[in-house]
Amino acid sequence: MTSTIVSSSGATTSMTTSTSYLATETGPLTLPISSYSFSSFPTPTLAPELPIFPATDPLNPPPVSSDPMVVPDFAPAWAAAYTKAMAMISNFTIEQKVNVTTGVGWANGLCVGNTPSVGDFPGLCLQDSPLGVRDTDLVTSFPAGITVASTWNRALMRARGVAIGQENKMKGINVALGPMMNMGRIAQGGRNWEGFGADPFLTGEAAYETILGLQAGGVQATAKHYINNEQEWKRTQESSNVDDRTEHEIYAHPFLRSVMAGVSSVMCSYNLINDTYACNNNKTLNDMMKREFGFQGFIQSDWSATMNGLSPVAGLDMTMPGDITFDSGTSYFGQNLTNYVMNGTISETRLDDMATRIIAAWYYMHQDENYPNATVDSFNFYDPINQEVNAQSDHYMIVREIGAAGTVLLKNEGALPLNKPKNIVLVGSDAAPPVSGPNEYTDQGGDPSGILAMGWGSGTNNFTYLVSPYEAIQARARVDQSSVFWDFDNWDLSKAGNSVIGMEVAIVFVNSDSGEGYITVDGNAGDRQNLTAWHQGDELILAVAAQNNNTIVVTNSVGPLIIEPWVEHPNVTAIVWANLGGNEAGNAIADILYGAWNPSGKLPYTIAKSPMDYPAQLVTGGTAADILSINYTEGLFIDYRWFDAQNITPRYEFGFGLSYTTFEYSDLAITTINPTADYAQMDLIDNWENGGATPIAEGSSTALWLHMPAYQVTFDVENTGSLYGGEVPQLYLHHSPSAGEPPSVLKGFTNVEVSPGQSASVSITLSRYDLSVWDVVRQGWAKPEGTITFSVGASSRDFRLNGTIPA
């Protein structure tokens, strides 16, 4: 119940000198400073080609498709922006160029991150969060990343991105600090809810659509946290030790998709990767992000994640918020960087590249054309500037729709949808409005006294308003003239049990919260201490189910819960997994309960029977000085990949979700899409078909020939029930055992809406990249040997149709 705020944002580091450190498991080692040369990375592009590879401006991306076949080419837009940026910096002094790269220091501007104006460049305002504009007022609190991922609906992912982008622009934010796309490697990971679940493909698609949307709305998007920041405990002092193949196939994939979406900025994370800090990591920043993915924008540090003055050599372009530790008045960039450039330690061409990338991203997003000034004050909520611009528009509608579409129906024994019940009783604090208003705690960092609609930390914003289930259900119940009772006290179990005796419907609301590690809530230092519902939720459900044979459970949880104590209880007649709904959370839950929205969400992670069934656990402990080693020994086998490989039966598998109707799948076919146009690079395709790997080159992992559609899978989905509804067909590949892949890997999904008795024809395309694995020896993507088969179905374990990829 306690809430301890350690600092107002972010973690800090204690290193305060400009010596170069190479961190190891035993601690930082000092490297001698010498001169580093630099060659910049050219724009990887081919001539834009319609219809698959159109030259694209980030403000005007290709329309959303449930089976995207277009691969937008942002290279011409980058090239134009580079020309302008290089012209602008051509008469900048070294100090001016350094100023472009160096934040003004913590709390020295209106936003959580600010760069100064330099010459004609007005400087940048950088602001959280992935679910809306943080630290201001009159903005929308969108459903969290985990909720939009649960929709498996690209149109809703895009729409959410556009709306968040528009609100950022209206508030004058240049750079939005999202989306966040860490992988949910550990079920307890404190920030998993900010991201898109535990599968790289789903996360990659969500990131892709979110970024296309954000930037269409006008704001620069930031892909974060790059990379392997999978737990909060000791996030600045842990080395995530990851093999190259796992890094490519699991953790880097969503970032590759971000680059393909034309993302403006990437944020390197706090942790070390294989004993080198993420913001000082030549392999992940220079070689993977800039060389392999061909990233043209800038890499900024997480807040105080810059660990030494030579990070520019490793690929870091901007230090945030600028000072080494908050308010230290010192910087690894600033005067240190100026000195390094003046004495030749860091080349001026590299400094030019840094400043060019930052200014180019601003031109690329057309922020030189009448972009609004920042009207937020991150450090004083009561500053009237926070109410100067109302950015909400009609975005509540998107919030409500995603809240419903992102709700997963896990169990339903005929209890739902509600059918004009005579009476309903709502049990549990999670049904209620929070007792002291929607913003009880700074950064939502406290024990929720009401509905949980987002987690805590920098990934939050202030609720302008918050609709609780109690308000929404009571309002809806008036339509049927139902009698509504409630009991929000979780602690008096006998009172709760007595309150449901003789009632037609008892709905129990439980939650589970987590967040960023700078705030500890009830002993949870960011990460969850356990996977149990908070406020004795299990006991509450059992107390209600003991007295009422129509007990419906609604959860608002940051991630999986162990629900074994009650899931099979005969009186638990429905389970509604409502995730984190944002400011319309209550309305979205009511829409599901009453069938205004027929559930179509699917789980973006596995719900296990026991915490120990998951492949990886939090690593805790360590003294203040220790750097923890977190060995990703499970490799490719995170989440369902592990359960499948180890034959562990989950409670509810990845991709699972029920509807109020039923669907049947039929008529599977697969056709090869012949590459015809010149840009197809037939030599590389032939090489790949013959088992060759992609070459080591700039942009090699994002090349068109690799990502253009190569196979088209088609089938029919029929609504065999009696209600209109949506289904999310999923495609999983199965490689031959010699490939070393998990038994099933998600490589496609789409969504269809079908009327009762009707069929929809469905298409899912696959690229050569989708069929490839990362070849560590050849350092490229290659098709593994052996036959590749695939399944199409309603979850990762509910396969309806099976096929084979043509040889």
Nearer to ligand BGC, 9 or 556 (CB): 9
CB of residue 50 to ligand BGC, shortest distance in Å: 37
Beta pairing class for 175-176 and 551-557: unpaired
DSSP string, 455-511: -BSTT----S----HHHHHHHHHHHHT-EEEEE--SS-HHHHHHHTTT-SEEEEEEE
User: Residue 63: which residues within 8 A CB-CB, separation 6 or more?
Assistant: none
Phi-psi label, residue 757: left if phi above 0, alpha if psi -120 to 50, beta otherwise: left
Nearer to ligand BGC, 302 or 718 (CB): 302
Q: Which two tokens stand for residue 241?
A: 């030790």
CB of residue 3 to ligand BGC, shortest distance in Å: 17
d(CA 662, CA 781): 39
Nearer to ligand BGC, 176 or 608 (CB): 176
| Residue 523: Cβ within 10 Å count | 10
CB of residue 247 to ligand BGC, shortest distance in Å: 20
User: SS3 for 780?
Assistant: strand
Q: Report the DSSP beta bridge partners of residue 789.
A: 734, 804
User: SS3 for 335?
Assistant: helix
Give me the half-sphere count of Cα atoms (radius 13 Å) on the Cβ side of residue 175. 31
Strand arrangement, sheet containing 745-749:
745-749, 730-734, 789-793, 799-804
Residue nearest to ligand BGC (CB): 10
Nearer to ligand BGC, 211 or 608 (CB): 211
**The one-letter amino acid at 431:** A
Whether 302 sits among the annotated catalytic residues: the reply is yes
CB of residue 169 to ligand BGC, shortest distance in Å: 18
Interface residues with ligand BGC (CB under 6 A) are 9-10, 112, 128, 177, 224, 302-303, 458
Nearer to ligand BGC, 20 or 269 (CB): 269
Catalytic residue among 302, 430, 513, 639: 302
SS3 content of the chain, % helix, strand, coil (to 5): 30, 20, 50
User: Residue 373: which residues within 8 A CB-CB, separation 6 or more?
Assistant: 172
Nearer to ligand BGC, 225 or 800 (CB): 225
Burial class (CB in 10 A: 0-12, 13-18, 19+), 349: middle
CB of residue 114 to ligand BGC, shortest distance in Å: 12
Nearer to ligand BGC, 207 or 590 (CB): 207
CB of residue 456 to ligand BGC, shortest distance in Å: 12
CB of residue 197 to ligand BGC, shortest distance in Å: 18
* Contact assessment for residue 551 and residue 572, using Cβ atoms and an 8 Å cutoff: yes
Question: What kind and span of H or E run contains 81?
Answer: helix 75-89
Q: φ, ψ for residue 247 (rounded to 5)?
A: -60, -45
Nearer to ligand BGC, 270 or 640 (CB): 270
CB of residue 620 to ligand BGC, shortest distance in Å: 19
**The one-letter amino acid at 753:** E
What amino acid positions are annotated as catalytic residues?
302
